[in-house]
Chain A
Amino acid sequence: MAIVRNTKGETVNDTVLELENVSKRFGEFHAVREVSLAIPRGSIYGFLGPNGAGKTTTIRMIFDIIKPTSGRIAILGASSALDVRSRIGYLPEEKGLYKAMTAAATVAYFASLKGLSRKAAKQRARTLLERYGLGEFADTRIQALSKGMGQKVQVLCAVAHEPEFVVLDEPFSGLDPVNQQVLEKLIRDLSLLGSTVLFSTHVMQHAERLCDRLLLIAKGRKIFDGTVAGAKGTIPRRVLISTESSVEPLAALDAVAEIKPLGESATLAGTKDWEIRLRAQTGAQDSAQAILESCFRSGIVLRRFDQSEPSLHDAFVALVGAGAHAGTQAGAQKGEAA
């Protein structure tokens, strides 16, 4: 394990969060099953998964709000988040604030609960509200703010004490595109300051743009943990074509592993879509070239030829689909673990 020093020059572990075979059961329902992971310091970590996958339950266990049924959690080296509460920040999925408090007082209050002196907390609150476009609403009561503004205030509550490790559960939901950009900037700012950020989202573009690494869970199980490129790499490389002709001749090619019919084309009337999976051994570019040549030779009339890289979205759908088959059928029977 490498020796890393934090901003104060203290020696710190280079892993901010470690989960070891963590499981959580609510009665008969397994919300989280034997999840293990390690989040390296300084990274922006995306936490993905379909609804009811166990993301929020995992996060609540990380913060010691609920206890795991089995397994071990170490956060900044401590076994309980409350021992390091001044060094961590949390934005829950279900957002709420005291309606009668002003924006500045709210941010200051939560910052002071995280160890800042009351005076420092007040100053920090004003600075942050100013920096992220809420300066003129500093003395407005929360109940008078729009939902999006309230959400920004809550994000600021989570990071006002400049935590080493921040968890943001669905920070983008409910924000307009402009404010989503502001939030992306905030996450990058945090990362630049040396914070480690773990955030969950359903919007793959955010994850793709922001994350160094991804953690994907489905039905309580971890199904992927690695880089964005790695996630995309889990999908077999393929070429998508649309044609009215028979694709039989392509099956004989060395580069082609499998041809999957995708049904009638939605955009080009009278044509069918096909996914041609490539063999891993040959280079993608060479394989695509070979397929294209073969099409010309065999007289296959191409209406579309798409050799673009799969998106994270495709990877997500593929991985979650595969995970669903691999997992037991315990399923998301209860809403408690959502």
Chain B
Amino acid sequence: MRYIFLIALREFAENAKTKGFWIGIFTLPLIIALSIGVSTKLSKSEPSRYFVVVDKSGAFAEPIERSIEWQYQRSVLQALSDYVQENLRPGQQPDVDLATHQTAVDTFIAAGGKDAYLARLKPALRENAPGFTEPTRPFVRVDLPRDIDAAAGSEDILAMLKPYLLGERKIAIEGGEAPLFAAVLLAPDAVDGATRWTGPEAIQYWSTNLAVNNLPDQIRDALNSETRRRLYVARGVDVSTVRGIEATYARLGTFDPGKAEGQETVSTADRIARNVPVALVYVLWISLFTIMQMLLSNTIEEKSNRIAEVLLSSVTPNEIMMGKLFGIAAIGLTMVTAWLATVIIGAQVYGGAGGAGAEVIGQAVDSVVASGLLPMFLLCFLLGYLIYAGLFLSIGALCNDLKEAQNLQGPMMLIMMVPLFTMVFINRDPHGTLATILTWIPLYTPFTMMNRAAADPPLGELIGATLLMIATALLLLWSAGKILRMAMLRAGNRPKFAEILQWIRGRGDA
């Protein structure tokens, strides 16, 4: 046992002492945090985009502008809702409806927008809450550039707008110039033409950037709404009645029968917890294969540097193997613990700002802890580790150098990618055919079980899969022990598969 401990300690120290190890550990959460932070920041700081509307029909310019403004007010309300969540005094409830369905937005606009709401919300907010910054307007309608005659024909106007649309010329805006993002051209017969699906389009959207869908979508909504309004009027239907009916928003409560009575409501925290298995599968995958690389390179180092022989004069092959297993497992656990600690500390720091957002995170963490996912993660990590360690130790012992190992690893990598490709599907359908099949393939069992854990898989399958993992791990480690004993001192040609089988059966010469 002393020897196993010494070997494990060396393996641990060798890896834990390197800067690369710790950089690697903290890079992952950092990259994830940064990518979330940066994408949120980027989406918030996106500049406004300017468009012109050339409405020869005179029917749509105003509805389009109204629709764009409504959408903007909705995003203000959403931002306000986020702001309130972050800055709400604990225990307080906002006395205004911060949902973003149609009626709520209409009420918000009718009440006077953000200033009115902020005044009413102030008492419920923390005293040191920062000021609310409203989001920038994503789309702003501007007039035609001055050198274009609005009275000219659509064709002429389009021809003159093209240099602007292509970025060759800039339009004047308040305090400077900006590129023209899009132009909407409406023909004189646009009202009838809107619903005509043959011949040239009466309403045209021109832009070099067709990847941005929001603007044409919002314009389409405005066109539909206005066209329908006109049809209602033409048929003598009372528009305000119809609009009132259209604004109806049905309420659907979501419940989980697996939860305790009285707490069946599915909350935001629950939704976060529901997605935690996928995150844990990902963590499991990254941590396992990071440490497998260490195990592989350490084993190869001992073989190619001829350290094995000195070691074998002091310790048995089994002691070497066990020492390595413990040492590298400790490295893996350190890595995973560091990641989890980063998440928890990150949540604390975020929670330190107070407010309902932190509360949701806190509830999500509680929900994960209560769900038994962490013990399941530990079980899958350890058994998955032993299974893959058995394979990688054998590969390491059989190869003369890292290059040879990489050749052998190629097909292994492909096999190992499967859990990554399938994890989202398994999470979506945890008892489906794919999930069931992968549960019974030992190499994938740890990942699949981890993924299915939150959905309460049948107990029989749980026990069966655990036993399968244990049996596979034992078999692979036992074989690895045999291979290690035979292969560590052997140089030159890699042994043939039949020869390896002989070793495992215990019929080798040594």
Contacts and interface: CB of A to CB of B under 8 A. Distances in A.
A308 to B, nearest CB: 41
A251 interface: no
B313 A109 contact: no
A110 B310 contact: yes
Nearest to B15: A100
Contact of B6 (A63, A85, A98, A109): A109
Contact of B313 (A65, A99, A112): A65
Contacts of B348: none
Contacts of A335: 492
Interface string A140-157: 000000000000001001
Given A96-B306, A99-B301, A109-B6, A90 B509 contact: no
Given A113-B3, A114-B314, A101 B14 contact: yes
Nearest to A112: B6
A113 B6 contact: yes
Interface string A49-84: 000000000001001011100000000000001100
Contacts of A60: 309, 489
Contact of B312 (A26, A65, A91, A158): A65
A66 B309 contact: no
Given A65-B312, A112-B6, A92 B306 contact: yes
Interface residues of B, number: 24
B157 to A, nearest CB: 72
A85 B301 contact: no
Interface string B76-97: 0000000000000000000000
B307 A98 contact: yes
B305 A96 contact: yes
A185 interface: no
B315 interface: yes
A94 interface: yes
B252 interface: no
A97 interface: yes
B313 A63 contact: yes
A197 to B, nearest CB: 15
A77 B312 CA distance: 20
Count chain B CB atoms within 10 A of each CB in A27, A60, A65, A109 and give the residue with the most: A65
B313 A96 contact: no
Contact of B305 (A90, A99, A112): A99
A25 interface: yes
B316 interface: yes
B110 interface: no
A25 B10 CA distance: 35
A303 interface: no
Interface string A97-129: 111110000000110111000000000000000
Given A60-B489, A65-B489, A85-B314, A94 B309 contact: yes
A25 B6 CA distance: 34
A60 B492 CA distance: 18
Scoring B7, B14, B490, B509 by chain A CB atoms within 10 A of each residue's CB, the highest score goes to: B509
A67 B510 contact: yes
A95 interface: yes
A113 B315 contact: yes
A25 B492 contact: no
A94 B314 CA distance: 16
Given A113-B3, A335-B492, A26 B309 contact: no
A82 B6 contact: no
Contacts of B309: 60, 65, 90, 92, 94
A100 B313 contact: no
Interface string B309-350: 111111110000000000000000000000000000000000
Contact of B301 (A98, A114, A157): A98
Contacts of A97: 305, 307
A92 B301 CA distance: 16
A109 B10 contact: yes
17 contacts: A26-B509, A27-B509, A65-B313, A65-B489, A66-B510, A82-B316, A90-B309, A91-B310, A92-B309, A94-B306, A97-B305, A97-B307, A100-B14, A109-B6, A109-B10, A110-B310, A158-B310
Given A95-B306, A113-B6, 11 more contacts: A66-B489, A66-B510, A81-B313, A88-B313, A92-B309, A96-B305, A100-B18, A110-B310, A113-B7, A113-B311, A335-B492
Question: What 4 pairs between A and B have smallest CB-CB spacing?
Answer: A96-B306, A96-B305, A94-B306, A90-B313
